Amino acid sequence: MKNLENKRGTLITAAIIVAVFLFVGIAEKIAPPSWNMLFMVLKKGSIYALIAVSMNLLNGFTGLFSLGQAGFMLLGAYTYGIFTIPAADRASVYQYFDGGVVQFALPVPVALILAGLVAAAFAFLIGLPVLRLKSDYLAIATLGFAEIIRAVFQWNVLGPITNGSNLLRKFPVFQSTISYFIVVGICVAVILLLINSSYGRAFKSIREDEIAAEAMGINLARHKMLAFCISSFFAGIGGALLAMYQTSVQASIFKSAMTYEILLIVVIGGIGSISGSVLASFLYIACSEWWLRFLDQETILSAAGRGRFIAVMAVIFVILLALMVFRLVKPKAKSRVRYGVGAGICGAVLIWLIVFAATGQTKVPLLRNGFRMVVFSVIIMIIVLFFSRGIMGTSELPDLFRKRIKSEKEEVAS
Amino acid sequence: MSENVLHVDHVTMQFGGVVAVNDLSLDVDQGEIVALIGPNGAGKTTAFNCITGVYEPTNGRVSFLGKPMVENHPQGKMKKLYSGEHAEDYPHIISPTPDKITQLGIARTFQNIRLFSALSVFDNVLIAKHMRARHNWFTSTFRISAKEEKRMREDATALLEEQNLLHLKDEVAGSLPYGIQRRLEIARALATNPKLLLLDEPAAGMNPQETQELTDFIKEIRDKYHLTVFMIEHHMDLVMQISDRIYVLDFGRLIASGTPAEIQSNQRVIDAYLGVSNDA
């Protein structure tokens, strides 16, 4: 019985994934140019999904709090760039360094794997001293490594290889969104296989209790190193994909802020959930690149637009206020304070809306450059406060469908 | 016939100036159930940690099945601080990590249960099977060693069945009742195929009936898996019923050893537990 439910959840998830891939593949061919934004978000979202999943493997499944992801992405991006620029274009890219020292170009798939391998090799070297540390200390050490790597790659002496602080460009890139999806899909599938293997279980045991894991014969040093290298391998591939997406590589963009973005995605998605990380990265990229963009633009409303704005705001906040009040007056209401504050805020917004309507202003307040980040931060705070386990907690998509089926059955039974 | 399984030789564990275990020597033979008792803070768990590689003893040697397994002598600043004897007797330094010791065939449980509490009962046991499986991360990820995984699962299922835990296989370990968590922890230790089982207060927090069940259980697994059991325990009923021999620690020192009957009548042991009045 359990197995059947298990299979059904997996089947539904597989169907969704196939549908998404088909949609992306087909829609890309036939969609009008106005859909460009969607495909940009899908491309960047898929890249971030891979990197977030690789970080989740380390932070969520093995319990190693590492903040070196941007450094490994940088290594991957540079490796890919350096080894794929066509020989004919090298003179113009490396114009200050006599065309550089590398004078050949590797095929794209080979270069992608090489990007991962270089990141993994560096992870191995860094891991030897650093993986003895725990929690915050490990985070600080890996963060330091990422910053050092960024500085070293801009160093002029390495210019013949890295082009110093200049851009690397003119390397081959994927044109279609589906190519990104396929590469990311394969990588995430491999990580999923790993997590569901005996080694994945060993990683989880280290997260649960290091001392007990060791007492069960699990070699901590070896398994931590393995998780660190594999995570970095995929971060390297993610970095290479990001280089393709941006069509250029520059060390200065791989700041620690990038690691924090990814950490945020992992937390929002749910630490220890692969599907959570994937969903969260698409949502995150869509919000930051697309849906919340309008918040950054000063907007003067036309008469009709003004009416619509007031109507929409009024409907949203009246519904919210009604919900809050409903919760407040419920006989066995819990956390009255929280809903009280919520109702107060809704009331205040509505009063302001009346003033706004009465005084005949046309400029939407607050909207200006930088406001997007304020709203974004508030959303993240709300998520962390009220959904502290993230969107998915530690469950995966198949679990979600399994649960739904179960509860439906219970309803039928009762 | 009785082969020596564990031989502890002049082991001293000193933290700075504090001597937690002082010149401890003991033997555990094949098939025996041996108990280590003593008042709180006597150094029993520290002794266990020295045997299982959690701590590196300051001085002394631990041999397992006749081979030196852990050996150390005072080094660095401990050279000055070390207050015991026999420092010259152990020239080698052997300090394996706990996982190596488990691989040699010593499994342990913990005083305060250390299950992988967010994982299922089945996963807890499977993790213990991980180290003996013939696979590496590559064959395991790409299911090249699927046979090995299947064998692990069969072994784990069989073990859970023997321990009457199979019906709880998909439960989250942390959600189980206390007594069952204890049993699961022992089952998990058995899953590493040990020759010697170290139990650190297996009856802690159990009522008399549960303790009685545990007594039978320990004897049963000893016979079934041809184990040798070395345990720390406070429940004297259990200790006296089950032990072939008993060692008594007080303030890190061995103060007595012998059969349960001998220990019960030993004046030093009674003094250690009850305290000696000054005017006596």
What pLDDT, in 10s, does the model give residues B175-195? Answer: 999 889 999 999 999 999 999
User: B-contacting residues of A 217-236, CB under 8 Å?
Assistant: 217-221, 226, 230
CB distance B72 to B93 below 8 Å: yes
**ipTM for the complex?**
0.92
Could you tell me which residues come within 8 angstroms of residue A280 by beta carbon, excluding any fewer than 6 positions away?
A: A52, A265, A266, A268, A269, A270, A390, A391
Task: Give yes or no: residues B207 and B101 share one domain.
Answer: yes
Task: Give yes or no: residues B202 and B266 share one domain.
Answer: yes
Task: Give yes or no: residues B185 and B214 share one domain.
Answer: no
B280 pLDDT above the threshold of 70: no
Q: Which helix (H) or strand (E) holds B59?
A: strand B59-64
Task: Give yes or no: residues B16 and B135 share one domain.
Answer: no
Residue A205, min C-alpha distance to chain B (Å) = 6
Partner-chain contact B130 A218, CB within 8 Å? yes
| B265 token code pair | 């009548």
Task: Tally C-beta pairs within 8 A across A and B.
Answer: 101
CB distance B89 to B10 below 8 Å: yes
Please tell me the total count of domains within chain B: 2
Q: Which residue of A has its CA nearest to B137?
A: A199
Task: Give yes or no: residues B98 and B211 share one domain.
Answer: yes
Could you tell me which residues come within 8 angstroms of residue A177 by beta carbon, excluding any fewer than 6 positions away?
A: A24, A28, A39, A42, A43, A46
Q: Which residue of A has its CA nearest to B186?
A: A216
A125 interfacial to chain B (CB closer than 8 Å): no
B26 pLDDT above the threshold of 60: yes
A364 pLDDT above the threshold of 90: no
Question: For chain A, which residues make up each domain, given as ranges?
Answer: 2-294, 301-366
What's the pLDDT score for residue A303? 79
CB distance A380 to A268 below 8 Å: yes
Q: Domain range for residue B146?
A: 115-193
B112 pLDDT above the threshold of 80: yes
pTM of the shown model: 0.89
Task: Give yes or no: residues B222 and B100 share one domain.
Answer: yes
Partner-chain contact A193 B137, CB within 8 Å? no
In a domain, B110, yes or no: no
Task: Give yes or no: residues B178 and B199 share one domain.
Answer: no
B169, B193, B217 — which closes off a domain? B193
Burial (CB < 10 A; 0-12, 13-18, 19+), residue B86, is middle
Q: Which helix (H) or strand (E) holds A105?
A: none
Cβ neighbours of B116 in A, within 8 Å: 204-205, 208-209, 212-213
In a domain, B181, yes or no: yes
Residue B46, min C-alpha distance to chain A (Å) = 15
Cβ neighbours of B133 in A, within 8 Å: 198
Residue B237, min C-alpha distance to chain A (Å) = 29
Q: Which of A55-69, A107-121, A165-179, B79-93 has the lowest mean pLDDT?
A: B79-93
A23 pLDDT above the threshold of 60: yes
* Mutation for A interface: B111, B130, B148, B190, most A CBs within 10 A: B130
B217 interfacial to chain A (CB closer than 8 Å): no
Task: Give yes or no: residues B188 and B241 share one domain.
Answer: no
For residue A399, what pLDDT band results from cuts at 50, 70 and 90? confident
Partner-chain contact B149 A194, CB within 8 Å? no
A414 pLDDT above the threshold of 50: no
For residue A151, what pLDDT band results from cuts at 50, 70 and 90? very high
The stretch A130-147 carries a mean pLDDT of: 92
DSSP three-state, residue A390 = coil
Q: What is the pLDDT of residues B141-187, one digit of tens each?
A: 999 999 999 999 999 999 999 999 999 999 999 999 988 999 999 99
Task: Give yes or no: residues B185 and B220 share one domain.
Answer: no
B193, B227, B243 — which closes off a domain? B193
Cβ neighbours of A194 in B, within 8 Å: 137, 140-141
What's the pLDDT score for residue A230? 97
What's the pLDDT score for residue A10? 86
Structure-model confidence comparison of residues A258 and A302, the more confident one? A258
Task: Give yes or no: residues B189 and B199 share one domain.
Answer: no
Angle in degrees, 0-180, between the axes of helices A220-246 and A198-208, rounded to the nearest 10: 110
Task: Give yes or no: residues B36 and B12 share one domain.
Answer: yes
Question: Can you give the CATH number for the domain in which B12 is found?
Answer: 3.40.50.300
Q: Strand runs (DSSP E) across B133-276, as ranges?
A: 196-200, 228-232, 245-250, 253-258
Could you tell me which residues come within 8 angstroms of residue B153 by beta carbon, excluding any fewer than 6 positions away?
A: B126
Q: What is the pLDDT of residues A249-300, one digit of tens each?
A: 999 999 988 999 999 999 999 898 999 999 999 999 998 888 888 888 877 8
Task: Give yes or no: residues B38 and B159 share one domain.
Answer: no
CATH architecture observed for domain A2-294? Orthogonal Bundle (1.10)
A193 interfacial to chain B (CB closer than 8 Å): yes
Q: Which of A190-194, A327-331, B254-258 has the lowest mean pLDDT?
A: A327-331
Q: Which of A204, A217, A226 sits opposite B131 (nearest CB)?
A: A217
B1 pLDDT above the threshold of 60: no
Q: What percent of chain B has pLDDT over 70?
A: 98
Burial (CB < 10 A; 0-12, 13-18, 19+), residue A325, is middle
B141, B167, B193 — which closes off a domain? B193
